[in-house]
A and B are shown apart, each in its own frame.
Chain A
Amino acid sequence: MNDISVSYNKYKFLGNEFLTWLWYLIENDINIKTIAESELKKAGIECESIVFEIGNCIALENSLGDDSVEKISIKGDDPGLEEGKTALKKGAVVTDMNLILRVDEDEWKFNIKGESMEITSLKIPVSGKVEGEDDIEGAVLEKVFLYNKVFEVVDTLFHFFIKKRVSKEWKTVDINGIKEWVEL
């Protein structure tokens, strides 16, 4: 294995933990805009509100220690997430989830995979129609702006999470908050 695949495998847990933390923020109505305000500002993201919502699926994985893995998948519109929380209690982490992101009036829907941070099935807010050749460049630039927006928000939050994850407060404050939520 080369260095890239070694670091992919070694640190893929950070992506899964990030999604688990994001689920915790969503479920506890923690205001993302408020907690990550300075990071969002630094990244040039200016808006009134940023809201995430769980979409139509979430997948979790629990390593059982003997090379076997337990996988839990919850799908459907407005899915009940109790089984997911039970899995969290047993030590599982979120590996994939479908998210809805609302920045002010605009809405994005996508699947995100923790280990690769890959975004699939991305649907962006409605953009201008291409009616002729002259419209192509404008349509491309508008779509690129909207694609980049979702990466900017996700990356900024990921950076914020990583800074938290290496801080002393992670073990004394954040993980206790997650633990309390899981135990409820």
Chain B
Amino acid sequence: MGLLSSSVSIARYRVDGKIEENVMETIHAGLKQNAITTIEDEYAEVTMGWTPFESNFNPDFEKFTFTFGDFFLFSFRIDKKSVPSKIIQKHVSIEIEKKLKEEGRQFISKNEKKEIRESVTDRLMSQMPSTPNIYDVLWNHEAQRVLFFSTQKAANEELETLFSKSFKLRLIRLFPFTIIESSDSFSDEERDMVLNLAPANVNRGKVVAGDSNE
């Protein structure tokens, strides 16, 4: 789901730090160096990298912009290959039958079966086209915030890794604790009190509040 879709899911991040000098050049270089490759590696199960927001299948950051108003906007593409297990099973059976017939044998060993499975998987994987998944990334450099248009755990983990590799900045996911930690609307005293809070329950009409801010 992309930024312009009619329904979106969004994970939010705080960027730990800022690029102090040559912001545009540094980000441009990070995007270019970690752009998704245009040549498909036939044996790679997963390929990932940045691509321009306006050109998801031509990762050319010289031709397409990554600045929109005060924001940086680009896409994260993850191309994944997968062969359904039933197809692998079918081709392994065919290969085993062929081998038994050619060599006039009654059975094959566990190791031989394993080798056949590996070679069949490699062959099928190289023939299989990869499926692209595209997620948009919106970066407000000034406010040190990133919106990532996916809440899938795996996609978020890959984003955190590639962002840190590309821009030497760490992404911190925003959830209740980090929202409080990142906000300047709390005093030090309030922050300390939050650390001592414990769940309050309205339990069978009785209030149970076990925090230690007494």
Instruction: Give me the interface of A with B, judged by CB distance under 8 Å.
Output: 4, 7-8, 10-15, 17-18, 39, 42, 88-91, 93, 114-123, 130, 133, 136-137, 139-141, 143-144, 147, 151, 155, 158-159, 162-163, 165-166, 170-171, 175-176, 178-179, 182-183
Contact B175 A159 (CB under 8 A): no
Say whether, besides A14-B176, A42-B185, A119-B10, A89 and B199 are in contact (CB < 8 Å).
no
Contact B151 A118 (CB under 8 A): yes
Smallest CB–CB gap between A179 and chain B, Å? 5
Nearest residue in A to B11 (C-beta to C-beta)? Answer: A118
- Find A141's partner among B53, B69, B179, B200 (CB 8 Å cutoff): B69
Contact B202 A182 (CB under 8 A): yes
Smallest CB–CB gap between A100 and chain B, Å? 14
**Cα A170 to Cα B214 with chains together (Å):** 12
**Cα A137 to Cα B176 with chains together (Å):** 32
Nearest residue in A to B10 (C-beta to C-beta)? Answer: A119
**Cα A158 to Cα B175 with chains together (Å):** 11
Interface residues of B in 196-214 (CB under 8 A from A): 197-205, 207-209, 213
Does B169 interact with chain A (Cβ within 8 Å)? no
- Find A7's partner among B8, B9, B177 (CB 8 Å cutoff): B177
Residues from chain B with a CB closer than 8 A to the CB of A93 are 199, 201
Contact A183 B12 (CB under 8 A): no
Say whether, besides A119-B9, A137-B68, A147-B147, A14 and B204 are in contact (CB < 8 Å).
no
Contact B202 A178 (CB under 8 A): yes
Instruction: Give me the interface of B with A, judged by CB distance under 8 Å.
Output: 3-4, 6-12, 53-54, 68-69, 71, 73, 138, 147, 151, 172-180, 183, 185-186, 190, 193-194, 197-205, 207-209, 213
Smallest CB–CB gap between A176 and chain B, Å? 8
Say whether, besides A14-B177, A144-B138, A120 and B199 are in contact (CB < 8 Å).
no
**Cα A8 to Cα B172 with chains together (Å):** 12
Contact A179 B4 (CB under 8 A): no
Contact B69 A11 (CB under 8 A): no
Say whether, besides A89-B202, A140-B4, A144-B138, A12 and B176 are in contact (CB < 8 Å).
yes
Nearest residue in A to B196 (C-beta to C-beta)? Answer: A166
Residues from chain A with a CB closer than 8 A to the CB of B198 are 13
Majority secondary structure of chain A interface residues (helix, strand, loop or mixed): helix
Say whether, besides A17-B199, A175-B207, A182-B205, A7 and B193 are in contact (CB < 8 Å).
no
Nearest residue in A to B53 (C-beta to C-beta)? Answer: A140
Residues from chain B with a CB closer than 8 A to the CB of A121 are 7, 9
**Cα A57 to Cα B132 with chains together (Å):** 32
Smallest CB–CB gap between B43 and chain A, Å? 33
Contact B10 A122 (CB under 8 A): yes
Smallest CB–CB gap between A119 and chain B, Å? 5
- Find A130's partner among B4, B8, B193 (CB 8 Å cutoff): B4
11 further A-B contacts with Cβ under 8 Å, apart from A8-B175, A130-B4, A147-B147, are: A11-B180, A15-B176, A89-B202, A93-B199, A117-B12, A117-B174, A122-B8, A140-B69, A144-B69, A163-B186, A170-B209
Contact A179 B205 (CB under 8 A): yes
Residues from chain B with a CB closer than 8 A to the CB of A170 are 200, 209
Residues from chain A with a CB closer than 8 A to the CB of B172 are 4
Residues from chain A with a CB closer than 8 A to the CB of B186 are 159, 162-163
Contact A8 B185 (CB under 8 A): no
Q: Which 4 A-B pairs have the closest CB atoms?
A: A91-B203, A166-B193, A120-B9, A11-B177
